[in-house]
Amino acid sequence: MTCFLFTKNRVSVFLKKEVQKLRILFPLECVVLRGIFKLGKKSHDVLLTRTRLTWTPIIPETPTGEVCMLQPGVLLLQDVFAVKVKRRRAVGHQSGGAVLGVALFCCRRRGRRLEEDTLHLHNASAEHTHTWYNTLKELLKEISSRPRYLKVFINPSSHRKEAVHIYREHVAPLFKMADVRTNITVTERKGHALSVMKECRLDEYDGVVCVGGDGSVAELCHALVLRAQLDADSPEQPVKPVLPLGIIPAGSTDVVSCSVHGVRDPVTAALHIVLGHLQQVDMCSFVSRGQLVRFGFSAMFGFGGQSLARAERKRWMPSSRRRDYALVKTLAKLRPEDCQLSFLPTKKLTKNLLEHRISIMSIPCLSPHVPQGLAPNTSLANGSAELITVRNTSRSEFIKHLKRYSSSSGQFSFSFVETHTVSAVKIRPRSLIGWSEDSEEEGDSKTTPIIQSEGAAFPWNIDGELVEIANEVLIRVHSQLITLYGEEVQEAESTVSCSCI
């Protein structure tokens, strides 16, 4: 708080300026309540409007005529998620007790993190306190984006199997404080969340929450769009789901969560949900031979798909070791995919290329490993995706390109790398030879067929999930198809570095 000392003749000029300032700060806002509360040990003049609470210390005039003008403290109601009556209670008592005032539970920003904070307003008058409590409650209810009832899915097998603990420890207490009711499903297998979402009544909920890693998030986003499509009886066109999705990160990379929170932190994620911060986000549909494969945010073909396929075969390894192993092994056996690539809309272009890697991302894909994202040139809701193609090059040049992602500079300034802003991409593998790690690893040229039978599949990494597809894939971007709890962020908080390459 800043304190200015003035003599009386300068006070009127100062007050005029202050009034002007308040008019700018509170345009057309009338005071809903005004009262005296103690904040800390000092009495304050507290004003409540429909959007904010302001408080100024009450300081008596000095005998010399000097007036101490203090700048008011301000709390925006959009940052308050709960209000409670404070009481003095004897140890062991659950109810009753003398009224002490009201406590406002709010969120404070520290960088990209949202943290819980409390403002205590003390006044021993029960009537005064209840008037303020009831009025504040009513004003908070008017913020329509805030959820009252949520359907929660927890994947207990995510990453270090900590999802249930993370939810109980960091999220459930905040939901309880904000009077958000929940219906919880702890998933038992892959596809469980999807089958519940296909059947359950959704009209009673205000949102859906996923506690898990990117695979769980992808399953739920896919489920929400599919369900909206079924409800609207629209088999051809994707339909925007009514309910927003909240993501509590409990995976190993949490790219989608990082892209809408800027940080992997369950408290930040839970506060975005209870405060009703809504962010529109583009999604892609992946279609092969006219059949929908899934909806998702990002896909990698070539190196990214091969590396994930290798990692999946070593499921028994701890996840970080598995990924490092697969990355190093795929680099050692680096080989391009021969494919035909066409894309819209920058200009219609068809290429026949030997590509090491193709990525299509409708969101920036931020993570603590890659703070500015794998696709820094796209944003969450611009209706387009970033297509990154990496043509055939030497292993050392390819590694240089990969390494530059973590420093987020110069990763695209190689002659073999191209980026395009696109609304649709078609990828057609030209080789009839599908991808098989076993054949490569054993290296037995006598038993490995040169051309595999029809149906041999190519590994795709779609939102961190391995999807094997034998034919060409059409990827279309659907502008703002889904709503997530969170906000647009430019850069993620960097907490880890990858040292495996």
Residues that bind ligand ATP (CB under 6 A): 155-159, 187-190, 192, 212-216, 219, 251-254, 319, 464-465
Closer Cβ to ligand ATP, 319 or 340, answer by number:
319
Question: What are the tokens at 275?
Answer: 């405060």
Closer Cβ to ligand ATP, 38 or 192, answer by number:
192
Q: How far apart are CA 200 and CA 184, in angstroms?
A: 12
Least distance between ligand ATP and beta carbon 155 (Å):
4
Question: What are the tokens at 285?
Answer: 């549909």
Longest dimension (CA), the chain: 103
Q: How far apart are CA 57 and CA 418, in angstroms?
A: 60
Closer Cβ to ligand ATP, 87 or 170, answer by number:
170
Least distance between ligand ATP and beta carbon 360 (Å):
19
Least distance between ligand ATP and beta carbon 67 (Å):
59
Closer Cβ to ligand ATP, 206 or 219, answer by number:
219
Nearest to 218 by CA among 161, 158, 172: 158
Least distance between ligand ATP and beta carbon 51 (Å):
38
Question: What are the tokens at 373?
Answer: 């994202």
Q: How far apart are CA 198 and CA 299, in angstroms?
A: 24
Helix locations, 142-292, DSSP H: 163-166, 172-177, 192-199, 214-231, 255-261, 266-274
- Strands 181-186 and 385-391, by their bridges, are unpaired
Least distance between ligand ATP and beta carbon 269 (Å):
14
Q: Under DSSP, is residue 50 helix (H, G, I), strand (E, B) or coil?
A: coil
- The alpha carbon torsion through 462, 468, 473, 474 (nearest 10 deg) reads -40
Least distance between ligand ATP and beta carbon 176 (Å):
24
Closer Cβ to ligand ATP, 41 or 189, answer by number:
189
Judge contact between 369 and 253, C-beta under 8 A: yes
Closer Cβ to ligand ATP, 71 or 183, answer by number:
183
Closer Cβ to ligand ATP, 251 or 376, answer by number:
251
Nearest to 322 by CA among 332, 312, 331: 312
The vertex-296 CA angle with 294 and 297, nearest 5°, equals: 160
Least distance between ligand ATP and beta carbon 156 (Å):
5
Closer Cβ to ligand ATP, 35 or 156, answer by number:
156
Instruction: Write the CB contacts of 368 (distance below 8 Å, at least 6 apart in sequence).
Output: 253, 258, 264, 492, 493, 494, 495, 496
Least distance between ligand ATP and beta carbon 76 (Å):
34
Least distance between ligand ATP and beta carbon 75 (Å):
36
Instruction: Write the CB contacts of 388 (distance below 8 Å, at least 6 apart in sequence).
Output: 357, 358, 359, 360, 361, 374, 375, 412, 417, 418, 419
Question: What are the tokens at 480?
Answer: 């703002």
Q: How far apart are CA 302 and CA 79, in angstroms?
A: 45
Helix (H) or strand (E) holding 135: helix 126-141
Closer Cβ to ligand ATP, 157 or 479, answer by number:
157
Closer Cβ to ligand ATP, 139 or 197, answer by number:
197
Least distance between ligand ATP and beta carbon 356 (Å):
23
